[in-house]
Amino acid sequence: MTPVLGRFLILASVFVATTGSLIAFAAGKRKSLDGLAWARRFAYGFAALMALATLTMEYALLTHDFSVSYVAQVGSREVPTWVTIVSLWSSLEGSILFWGLVLGAYIAGATWLTRKQHSEYMPFAIGTWLACGTFFGFLIAGPANPFLTIPNPATDGAGPNPLLQNHILMVAHPPFLYLGYVGMTIPFGFACAALLRGKLGHAFLKPLRVSLMLPWIFLTIAIMLGGWWAYEVLGWGGYWAWDPVENASLLPWLTATAALHSAIVMERRGVLKGWTITLVQASFLLTILGTFMTRSGVFNSVHSFTQSSIGPTILVFLAAVLLFSVVLLALRIDSLESEGKIDSAVSREGMFLVNNLIFVLLTFTVLIGTVFPLIVEALRGKQMSVGRPYFDSMVVPVGTALLFLIGIGPALPWGRATGRQALRSLLPPLITGAVVVAIGAYAGARNPWTLLTLLFGGYAAHVTLVEMFAPIRQGGAKALRRGRRRFGSYIVHAGAIVVLVAIAVSSTMRTSTEVRLDRGQSAAIGPYTVTFLDVEQRMEPNRESTIAKFSVTENGKPVTTLEPRMNQYPAMREPIGTPAVHSTAARDLYLSIMNVDTGSRSISVMMLITPMVSWIWIAVLIMGLGGVVALIPVRSPAIREAKETLPVPGEAAEA
């Protein structure tokens, strides 16, 4: 019964999305407000059906209904209830259904928030969203159907991918990634609407910017959670390996970040409209490319659950969206007239252009390195990959330049800067940079790139903090409330500076050693002495764990006890390690079991000291927080009063 209900809901959602999309485009062409109202109803309908389908799946999972194919695949009576709930995104079919739920929620939210505005653009936006909805509905109904009926259901199953059960971060990472990925559909719809409508008015910039910012926040945090998870679970002590699936999450982030910046120039100077639209479309295309890479099995890794047949389907969709975007851009880009021009390269807007250039370079660098092996394999059948040195050697200089730019951009005025203005604003922060370099060198930094990063980091931090608090000094808290967007973006910058510095320091100043210890023996690393106490086996309902106990002392004083472990899951041939990490502000001590001899009770353990690594997680959260601050709508009491008495001018002009 449940699988039939699920299939019905999905088919209904495909029908609703298709019909709604057609109605919306027709309404856009005829400028029919009635048609738009109907398109909105279909958008809500699509969201409701996706939500119901997801609830049906959760019901099936929780009741262990093994007649549903997806439950048969990932369900198990042995696993804790929270694992059962999150099993929804533990395997391919369920994760695509979850994608549908998120897409529905985004579409409904965006439709609701724009219900009284932008009626000339909205039909095209809703039409584009629902066209994407049609595709994902089709994907769930066809190649990735989780609601197939199993004729003779078993009474129990194997359970979800053990990696999901092994660490809480693996539970949080996928939803954030989907919220980031799927959310890019909304600005894509707005961008297409501007092109189809043939104009991009000032009032329409706000929904474009807001709809880009929200998924950007989620994506930022998702990338960090992925790296953090790799660090906490995979046991090699790193957090980023330029793995294709990691790159897949980074690519749309890079273009979305570029778009957020060019959108500011567009807002201030009325230029770069076509360019911003292109970046927004590229971000959406890269999320689809990323989905193809992670979900089709072309790269098999932690992320691709199984060899599946959805690859070609996604590839066709990718090609269709690419063709649609390019043709639309080619036909309509000239209709988005520039209202101004950029006067001088040495100015705030000039720096925004350099920023965009850098982000586009980064995107191409990572894209080429990621896709090149795929192309070679497709054309010549040979398998290879592009090694890490390529990415490091390309990205490190560009990333350092970016850090420099974070410092120099906000220090320059809009319009045209005089030489003296430029010099005066750039000198004092340089002193801060020099101080930071001195501190770094004292702490042992010798790598020239690291020292350069410290210089630019200190410099950029000085500029950012001055700019962040300038409104407060000038106009107090009220000014700050009005300039919340600016304030938020400087918080993002501050976070980004810390992330870049922490990456430079943690990747160049690691020390590691690998030792074999008998019970009671100790080994020293840095200021720590690590003593191997004991190893024990523990049976848990869903796994068997080997847990080693170490006591840690720092300069003779006891600090903590660390328990790295290896978890053996019945569904997996190899054990999954869980390293133990002792994090402090200055450095992490990281213990990872390499080998256990339970007979003689001796152990091989890798010990790592990585400075500043926890700053990365914290600073990325700060970046997300800054994004949220920038998103909170500005609404001082005076403005609210004005809104109640006067029609809003922007909207009157738009309608």
Q: Which residues bind another protein (CB under 8 A)?
A: 161-162, 234-238, 241, 243, 299-302, 306, 361, 364-365, 368-369, 372, 382-390, 393-394, 514, 566, 571-575, 577, 593-595, 604, 606
Please identify, using beta-carbon distances, which residue of 425 and 513 lies nearer to another protein. 513
Give the Cα separation of 375 and 96 in Å (integer).
26
Backbone angles phi, psi at 612, to 5 degrees: 65, 10
In whole angstroms, how close is the CB of 560 to another protein at the nearest point? 23
Residues near 546 by beta carbon (within 8 Å), at least 6 away in sequence: 535, 536, 537, 565, 566, 568, 575, 593, 596, 598
Which residue has 């129990």 as its token pair?
Answer: 156
Give the Cα separation of 503 and 397 in Å (integer).
13
Strand arrangement, sheet containing 602-611: 511-517, 602-611, 587-597, 580-583
Please identify, using beta-carbon distances, which residue of 69 and 578 lies nearer to another protein. 578
In whole angstroms, how close is the CB of 82 to another protein at the nearest point? 21
Please identify, using beta-carbon distances, which residue of 337 and 514 lies nearer to another protein. 514
Please give the structure tokens belonging to residue 191: 């961008």
Query: Is 523 strand, coil or helix?
Result: strand
Please identify, using beta-carbon distances, which residue of 108 and 566 lies nearer to another protein. 566
In whole angstroms, how close is the CB of 236 to another protein at the nearest point? 4
Backbone angles phi, psi at 417, to 5 degrees: -100, 140
In whole angstroms, how close is the CB of 598 to another protein at the nearest point? 12
In whole angstroms, how close is the CB of 506 to another protein at the nearest point? 13
The residues facing 603 across adjacent strands are: 517, 596
Give the Cα separation of 188 and 278 in Å (integer).
9
In whole angstroms, how close is the CB of 614 to another protein at the nearest point? 19
Which residue has 């170490």 as its token pair?
Answer: 550
Please identify, using beta-carbon distances, which residue of 301 and 636 lies nearer to another protein. 301
Please identify, using beta-carbon distances, which residue of 15 and 372 lies nearer to another protein. 372
Whether 436 contacts 456, CB under 8 Å: no
In whole angstroms, how close is the CB of 485 to another protein at the nearest point? 30
Please give the structure tokens belonging to residue 336: 């988005």
Residues near 476 by beta carbon (within 8 Å), at least 6 away in sequence: none
In whole angstroms, how close is the CB of 606 to another protein at the nearest point? 6
Give the Cα separation of 130 and 38 in Å (integer).
13
Please identify, using beta-carbon distances, which residue of 243 and 467 lies nearer to another protein. 243
Give the Cα separation of 504 and 447 in Å (integer).
9
Please identify, using beta-carbon distances, which residue of 272 and 492 lies nearer to another protein. 272
Residue 8: half-sphere exposure toward Cβ, Cα within 13 Å: 7
In whole angstroms, how close is the CB of 483 to another protein at the nearest point? 33
Please identify, using beta-carbon distances, which residue of 18 and 95 lies nearer to another protein. 95
Measured on CA atoms in the order 356, 359, 365, 368, is the torsion positive or negative? negative
The residues facing 532 across adjacent strands are: 550
Please identify, using beta-carbon distances, which residue of 265 and 606 lies nearer to another protein. 606
Residues near 619 by beta carbon (within 8 Å), at least 6 away in sequence: 495, 496, 498, 499, 502
In whole angstroms, how close is the CB of 234 to another protein at the nearest point? 6
Give the Cα separation of 12 and 343 in Å (integer).
54
